[in-house]
Structure 1
Amino acid sequence: MNPAGSAGAPGHPAGHEAAARSRLISHVRYHVVLDLTRPGDEFRCGATIRFRAGAGNTLTFLDYAGTAQLIECNGSAVGTVAQHGARIYLPVVVGENVVRVVGTAPYRRDGAGLHRFRDPVDGQSYLHTRFALFDAHRVYPCFDQPDLKAALELSVTVDDRWHVITNTEPTSVPKRFSNGTAVWTFARTPPLPPHLTVLVAGPFRRITTTHGDLPLALYAREALFDALGNDADELFEVITRGLDFSADLLDRPYPFAKYDHVFSPECAFSTAPHPGCVVCDERFLFRSGVTRETRRRRAEALLSAMAHMWFGGLVTLRWWNGLWLHEGVATLIAALAQPEATPFGEAWALFEHEVCSVARQADRLPHNHPITPGAGAAHLGADPIMAKKAAAVLRQLAVRVGWENFLAGLRRYLRDHAWSAADTGDLIRVLESAAAPGLTGWAAEWLRRPGVDTVEVHRLPTGGTVTHLSDPQARRVRLRVGCYSEALRLQHRRWVNPDHQGARENDGDGTRQVCDVVLPNDDGHVYVKIRLDPASRRTVMSRISALSDPVTRAVAWGTLWDSVLDARIPARAFVAVVLDHAPAEEDVGVLGLLWQRAITAARVFGARSNRAASLRRIARRIREELDASSAGGDRLLTLAHALTSSISGEDALLHDIAWGRRPWPGLEVDRDLRWRALLHLAVQGKPVDELLAALLPAEPGDDDRRRALTVEAARPDSRAKSQAWHRMFSDAYSLVERQAVMAGFHRHGQEHVLTPYAERYFLALDHVWHSMSPENALAMVRTLYPLVTDAEQEVLARTDETVAQRALPAEVLRVLRRKRAELAFMLAARACDAARPRSG
């Protein structure tokens, strides 16, 4: 290995380098001492790394992005010249090696490494780490790859008013000194990969309890401690019931010595699970009226993070392309746990709406990656394919082999690989032994091939139907087909094995069976896209609310939404269905989702000439529902949220809501609703400075500051867009603040003022990649792609030119190809909406 050839190499070690290092190195132990009391923007780290090497007289390397001031290897000083960029090269001997590194590293504001937030209210600092996928070495020297696990002993010096939280409990009471500092020393962790180690520190307050012998704690900063206290009982209830459910489901108790949840400011994620400690976005602490659906989503996030304690903590990744397994299983277990661990009931209808439908939307784009990407795809992270599609496909597998067999396989996977690393092949082997043979072929089809297959229904001249796969190369599926009357009452179901030639729908005696509506996959168990025949689609669109089963109804809604995205039905037709049938939905989560999809259909996928009329129809229908409602509560608040997103030209109503006035009896105008109204006033170019001044000082947290950044970026004038562009590229703003700006920047209806930023986007790509961590850079490349302009064809051509030049990394080019396809699909949907109606 030539250190000079790898100097300053950014990002993950290449696959061959990581594999070679894993073969060479074993039995790693870390002892890390951090000093977080130094003035300025840097902290000090001293690390002793012990490991065994299988060969001597060779070089290996530690990952370290700090500045080393001392490097010793086996008692000899090797000098700081051994550090090349983010690597420290070491001459190792066969057997035991001891390396000592002392250095400094900067606090960060981009969510990678050790993130520091300064509270604008009390001036206090709060720190949290985010190490996935490759950021632990931004804090301490380590072998930063998932298959090199190590025990970590950690000691941290902090302000003596602070709490320090990590994977394990302190070994004793913190040692306090007269200079106002304290040293916290923590018990050794079990063997963990570096990316699962965690550190949170600051003047947090906590609430504790126990569950049996397991210590539980909730942490929040002083400004939010009242909100934490208000929610503590509900949070502990979800956590304790979830622990009991998961331990029973997986036949294995919670594997760590304590379980903390820290609500930390400026989290760039909803939850970040680490063994023994989950770092949560503090927006999960509710300070105003919230709906039952909002609480359900929080419980779902906590239950998903909990599943990672087993899948990701107890059994860890062998390499990053196995991330799908932990993400998919966590999403699936959260759905299974919801009726048992929460008061929110069954989750499968929402699973169909929010998991399967979102996965299909992402998976339809070309240049996509499979659930299990190649070993070199190290920067993908938990995107919709690795999280949502993975969960949908795992549920499909569970139905195929039987839930008991599937769960038996998961239990054996945990038993066989506890405290070690595993990958996709290990899962398939245990499932084959516990459930059914032949899953290797299934894995090749469903885990290693990208894309979503389409099942179509065709009517025969004789009156029968044929269900077939539209692509001769499609995966093999077995699914249930529902036959429904014109009133959408179920007549019968049958199992079919469609191929590209089709499965003919006949009675058992061979006679023809006539169905008014044929709905394949009406139980949602198979991950496919459904394309209805015209007669079935017309009936579904006119009577969808008559489908009595919530999951079947969700499948039907998903089929119509897919048809909008694929330019097979006009966006305005989908809007009409929502106007007629969404009010019949009893679940407020589904109700809110359908209204938001109708708004998106009108604003994004509808022809510009139809946009205003469609949005007026949506707002008028929602107002009718609000006017007719005799009760308040969640439904009224959900409708009001949708109204503020769709309304235009009614400044008085939006102003009333933004000022906190109640337009309808029973409606609780909370801060979230006020900010929504304020945002949409800003989008329309209305003056909002007085409202901003009234809302901003009222809350102690940073959430309102972020909302204000979104509002300011959403204004439809060149000055606001120029300011927003500067903020998005300025180091003066943290990652979450830049995300808030990005959330307001691209607004449909503002194409004229956004068009100049299309070329600026392409010119900035190289700077973005080289100035940010890979994960954050890719997120920015995705979010800022110029979908909203008056020059769509020029954007398509500029994307083609940039991709053809191949001057950017493959990861960036992959994102550009996908965003180009997204824009092309959007334009096709608009053309469909602009076309005159056709019969059928």
Structure 2
Amino acid sequence: MPGTNLTRDEARERARLLRVEEYDIVLDITDAPAGGTFRSETTVRFEANAPGASFIDLVAPTVHEVVLNGESLDPGKVFADSRIALPELVAGTNELRVVADCAYTNTGEGLHRFVDPVDGSTYLYTQFEVPDARRVFACFEQPDLKATFRFTVTAPEGWSVISNSPTPEPEDRVWRFEPTPRVSTYITALIAGPYTSVHSSWEKDGRTVPLGIWCRPSLAEYLDAEAIFEVTRQGFDWFEEKFDFPYPFAKYDQLFVPEFNAGAMENAGAVTIRDQYVFRSKVTDAAYEGRAETILHELAHMWFGDLVTMEWWNDLWLNESFATYTSVACQAAAPGSRWPHAWTSFANQMKTWAYRQDQLPSTHPIMAEIRDLDDVLVNFDGITYAKGASVLKQLVAYVGEDAFFRGVQAYFKRHAWGNTTLPDLLTALEETSGRDLSAWSRAWLETAGINILRPEVTTDAEGVITSFAVRQEAPALPEGATGEPVLRPHRIAIGLYASREDANGGSALVRTERVELDVDGELTEVPELVGHPRPAVVLLNDDDLSYAKVRLDADSLAAVTERLGDFAESLPRALCWASAWDMTRDGEMATRDYLELVLSGIGRESDIGVVQTLHRQVKLALELYADPAWREEGLSRWTAAALGFLRGAEPGGDHQLAWARAFAAVARTEEQLSLLEGLLDGSEVVEGLAVDTELRWSLLHRLVVRGRAGEAEIAAELERDATAAGERHAAYARAAVPTAEAKAAAWALVVEGDSLPNAVQESVIGGFVQPDQRELLEPWSARYFEVLKDVWESRSHEMAQQIAVGLYPALQIGRETVERTDAWLEEARPNAALRRLVTESRAGVVRALRARETDIRAGGGSGA
């Protein structure tokens, strides 16, 4: 939106002048069921180092009063462009009072308002990261101006109100919360409505922390509170031991809220989580593992992010990478954890995300240059989360786990309730490890791009290794990226895998030797492996210690192609799967060969998270990277295989459900679509498969896409599932109807109207964009570029970003799309945030063209 930006220079100058002490915030949400606006009254006390002028942030339809140090200021003169000018601050203590009408939103930003179709009740929650506390109360909206916050809230009768401080007993519908500790604006929170709750506690060494879990009553029957409490308590135990710092807040509530844009948000003591994590239907264990990682990620933030906070958003990665790394480490190591193989999921999902992001034109150093709020709003990406966490994992291997956590402990004690920059953390780690981390930091945190590691192996006539080295490459950065490629120091393990008889009399690939070493420069000799018999597979970066693309030598690649499913452990399998996928994306492996590899090994893959990732990757490769002349053949092979695996899977198991969803996503023949219809109406049964609410929608979506179902079936299914989730599914289905009229209606809802809630808009966009409907979608490519800039400038960031990314013509793989994009970029001259999103989408088309050429050549064609 125009006028809502804040530059780093402005924030630095404001922090130089001011120290904020306390906020007293009074909100009246009595009329929330009617929507519109609510009264917000803010009194803030702050110190000014010298007389001067500054400003406070506020996004509000109306400002009624501005009183600075007892003097009334004319709102019409001092309020503009999301700021209230403070023209005459005195040295020392200042007091500001602002009374305004602020607006409820349906975009997931600020104070989001949602009406549950099941009970007709209104539910509210706040989402303030990055700059949206100013949508609810006047504040100095930057992370280094911490303060205490006292909330007083008047709410409708029968509501619950939850905030950062423990929930008080209301007095005549007024909830008076005690002040918070010193925290940043973006982690304050308010959640209100007739939510239901379950309560427990975490106890240790005579200390008790109250725990609460909240959701809407319409989801209460699905809330597995004890499982959530179990993961939460494991996190409390593990983090307190590793951090050697008590949990810093008075209580810990987790609130499952509707229409949430992200996975969750680390509000101090009042974490909000998307309520899709309250599973209405059967899901695989991978979903429970993913939810547990989210729970632990947000809990880790209570220390890293909330207790100690970055000074400015260029160190956002310190928050997110640390929380990501420690959440997975906790899952893998906490006593009693259900997911001791969590690093397999990390390699399979997080690292893949990071590798993808690091090969886009927008790649950037982990410690990114954040010039203003526009920059940070698009920087919640695979580098900030996944690459940063991967690099932290390597740092732990580099300095040692004990030294790493001793450094973290010192960091928390030294900077509690304050703000820090990267050198503060590195200083603590250098003290405890004895390592000089300045060169490491420059190579890993201050440069962009990804390295490739390749083994160089020679053997004698008897198959004994006579030389072994690791060659490191630094490929050129993507077109449009800034910076230069660099070779980095890597701490890696090398695993030798040989055939051994397994318990069933078959043959397994088992690690027979492991060497851990530092790799630096272009070529690193590994004399420790000389004299060993050449194994079936040599695997660089075994145990996934470093962050690098790994390639297999020719003999290992041949063995993996035949026997990938034979690895006895899940992590080396995941690393090989990831390498094969990366080769496919890079155009080093043809899509048809990747399909063969998956079909040969997926039946022996036990890790359900890996299986589901392979499902998504195969479908994407076939849709985007395959020779168009061969694509239908490849999809037919995959669909037939999916049906075969579905029928052969253990009844009622995770793999059966995963294959059912994979098959439902690609069914195409009349016979296959009839099977979907039969599963939906009950005339067909797959033993053990529960065709429950969510699976029913998946089946119906596919039938709609292929023209076998329409409005009557959609309306009937919505009547069966008259919930918010059902409304989203129905919106998706209606946008997926394969007619020009349906596409026009969907486009009008998203682009020409602006009333859709965030979650419904996302569903409509998802239904609109169907790979099966490329020709039907082609005319909308030009329309996208015609409206994009206006949409970006007229919508909130979250809503505009959904449209900019979701409606980009990514399925129109051709030079015309690239040229049309380039012409628009040249003519429209978008701001940096929008330019980044569009160039990332363009890069996807360019990559698909390159991968497609590889597949064309593999099929005997000459390409375009």
TM-score by length of 1: 0.94
Q: Secondary structure at the match of 1:521?
A: strand
Q: 1:289 touches 1:670 (CA, 8 Å); kept in 2?
A: yes
Partners of 2:627 and 2:738 lie apart in 1 by 20
Q: Which residue of 2 aligns with 1:191?
A: 182
Aligned to 2:503: none
- For 2:699, the equivalent position in structure 1 comes to 677
- Residue 505 of structure 1 and its aligned partner are, at CA, apart by 5.5
CA distance, structure 2, for counterparts of residue 535 and residue 204 of structure 1:
59
Residues 329-355 of structure 1: CA distance to partner in whole angstroms, max 9, x if unpaired?
111121122242642333111111011
Residue 206 of structure 1 corresponds to 197
- Equivalent residue number for residue 555 of structure 1: 575
Aligned to 1:179: none
Partner of 1:137: 134
In structure 2, runs of 5+ residues without a counterpart are 461-465, 475-484, 500-507
Which residue does 2:735 correspond to in 1?
713
Structure 2 CA distance, aligned partners of 1:777 and 1:146? 25
> CA contact under 8 A between 2:147 and 2:182: conserved in structure 1?
yes
The correspondence for 1:87, drawn from 78, 83, 86, is: 83
Aligned with residue 243 of structure 2, among 245, 250, 258: 250
Which residue does 2:857 correspond to in 1? 835
Which of residues 504, 515, 519 is equivalent to 1:494?
515
Matched, 1:480 2:493: yes
Q: Secondary structure at the match of 1:449?
A: coil
Distance 1:32 1:475, change over 3 A: same
Deviation at 1:498, TM superposition (A): 5.0
CA distance in structure 1 between the aligned counterparts of 2:468 and 2:629, rounded to whole angstroms? 38
TM-superposed deviation, 1:297: 1.7
SS at structure 1 position matched to 2:376: coil
| Residue 766 (structure 1) aligned with residue 789 (structure 2) | yes
Query: Where do residues 569-718 of structure 1 align in structure 2 (5 Å cutoff)?
Result: 569-649=589-669, 650-659=672-681, 663-699=685-721, 701-718=723-740
> Which amino acid letter does the alignment assign opposite residue 603 of structure 1?
E
* Residue type at the aligned position of 2:56: L
Q: Which moved more, 1:461-470 or 1:793-802?
A: 461-470
Equivalence for 1:5:
none
**Among candidates 69, 78, 83, match of residue 73 of structure 2:** 78
Taking structure 2 as the reference length, the TM-score comes to 0.91
Code of the residue aligned with 2:180 in structure 1: it is T
Structure 2 partner of 1:156: 153
Aligned equivalents of 1:694 and 1:652: distance in 2? 18
| Structure 1 residue 810 displacement after superposition | 1.4
Q: Helix, strand or coil for the counterpart of 2:772?
A: coil
Question: How many Å apart are 1:64 and its aligned residue?
Answer: 0.7
Q: Which residue in 1 is equivalent to 2:365?
A: 370
Residue among 104, 107, 124 paired with 2:104: 107
1:28 maps onto 2:10 in alignment: no
Structure 1 letter corresponding to 2:438: T
Residues 567 and 218 (structure 1 numbering): CA distance in 2 closer, same or farther, change over 3 Å?
A: same
Task: Give aligned pairs, total.
Answer: 821
Q: Is the CA contact 1:37–1:159 (under 8 Å) kept in the aligned structure 2? A: yes
Q: How do 1:225-304 and structure 2 match up within 5 A?
A: 225-228=220-223, 231-304=224-297
Q: 1: distance between equivalents of 2:569 and 2:35?
A: 60
* 1:104-124 C-alpha deviation (Å, 9 max, x unpaired): 011111111111111223322
Q: Which residue of 2 aligns with 1:400?
A: 398
Native 8 Å contact 1:464 1:512 kept in 2: no
After superposition, give the CA deviation of every residue in 1:14-72 in whole Å (9 maximum; x if it has no partner). 1111101001110331111111124550111111111111111x211010111211111
Deviation at 1:483, TM superposition (A): 3.4
Structure 1 residue 458, shift from structure 2 partner: 4.6
Native 8 Å contact 1:661 1:669 kept in 2: no
The residue that corresponds to 1:96 in the other structure is 93
1:549-607 residue CA offsets vs partner (Å, 9 max, x unmatched): 22111111110010000000011111111111111112222222222222222222222
Alignment equivalent of 1:52, drawn from 23, 26, 47: 47
Shift of residue 126 of structure 1? 0.8
Task: Note closer, same or farther for the CA distance 1:297–1:187 as it changes in structure 2 (3 Å cut).
Answer: same
Contact conserved, 1:678 with 1:688, CA < 8 A, in 2? no
Matches for 1:348-497 after TM superposition, within 5 Å: 348-376=343-371, 377-458=375-456, 466-471=469-474, 473-485=486-498, 488-495=509-516
SS in 2 for 1:750: helix
- Aligned equivalents of 1:233, 1:662: Cα separation in 2: 36
Residue pair 2:280, 2:694 contacting (<8 A) in 1 also: no
Superposed, which structure 2 residues align to 1:514-525 within 5 Å? 514=534, 516-525=536-545
Aligned to 1:568: 588
**Match of 2:110, as an amino acid?**
G
How far apart are the structure 2 equivalents of 1:526 and 1:18? 35
Q: How large is the Cα RMSD of the aligned pairs?
A: 2.3
Q: Distance in 2 between matches of 1:797 and 1:490?
A: 49
User: 123, 126, 131: which one pairs with 2:120?
Assistant: 123
CA shift, 1:514, in A, is 4.3
SS at match of 1:29: strand
Amino acid at match of 2:84: I
Q: State whether residues 480 and 522 of structure 1, in contact with CA within 8 Å, keep that contact through their aligned partners in structure 2.
A: yes
What is the rounded CA distance, in whole Å, between the counterparts of 1:200 and 1:501 in structure 2? 54
1:540 and 2:540 correspond: no
Separation (CA, whole Å) in 2 of partners of 1:352 and 1:40 = 45
C-alpha contact 1:483 1:517 (8 A) present in aligned 2: yes
CA gap of 1:308–1:505, structure 2 versus 1, over 3 A, is closer
The amino acid of 2:473's aligned partner reads S
Quote how far apart the aligned CAs of 1:837 are: 5.6
Classify 1:630/1:393 alpha carbon distance in 2 versus 1 (closer, same or farther; 3 Å): closer
Amino acid at match of 2:594: F
**For 1:701 and 1:413, how far apart are their aligned partners in 2?**
47
Residue 773 (structure 1) shift: 3.0
Pick closer, same or farther for the CA change 1:661–1:383 going to 2, 3 Å: farther
* Whole-Å separation in 2 of the counterparts to 1:773 and 1:373: 24
Q: Distance in 2 between matches of 1:398 and 1:320?
A: 24
Deviation at 1:783, TM superposition (A): 2.5
1:15 aligned to which of 8, 15, 25:
8
**1:297/1:528 CA distance change after superposition, 3 Å:** same
The reply on whether 1:736 has 2:759 as its aligned counterpart is: yes
AA aligned to 1:437 is R
User: What's the CA shift for 1:150?
Assistant: 1.0
Q: Which runs of 4+ in 1 moved over 4 A?
A: 458-466, 485-489, 495-501, 504-508, 510-516
| 2:397–2:491 contact (8 Å) kept in structure 1 | no
1:618 counterpart letter in structure 2: W
Q: Aligned with 1:164: secondary structure? A: strand
TM-aligned CA distance change 1:281 to 1:188, over 3 Å: same
User: How far off is 1:534 after superposition?
Assistant: 3.2
2:811 maps to what in 1? Answer: 788
Q: Does 1:167 align with 2:167?
A: no
Residues of 2 paired with 1:819 and 1:722: CA distance? 23
1:37 aligns with 2:30: yes
For 1:422, give the aligned amino acid: T
2 CA distance for matches of 1:73 and 1:575?
67
Contact 1:505 1:513 in 2 (8 A): no
Does 2:746 correspond to 1:746? no
Aligned residues of 1:659 and 1:674 also touching (Cα < 8 A): no
- How far apart are residue 806 of structure 1 and its match? 6.4
Mapped to 1, the partners of 2:184 and 2:99 lie a distance apart of 21
Asked if the contact 1:220–1:264 (Cα under 8 Å) also holds between the matched residues in 2, the reply is yes
Return the offset for 1:440.
1.5
- Contact preservation (8 Å) 1:133, 1:381: no
Aligned 8 A contact 2:495 2:511 in 1 = yes
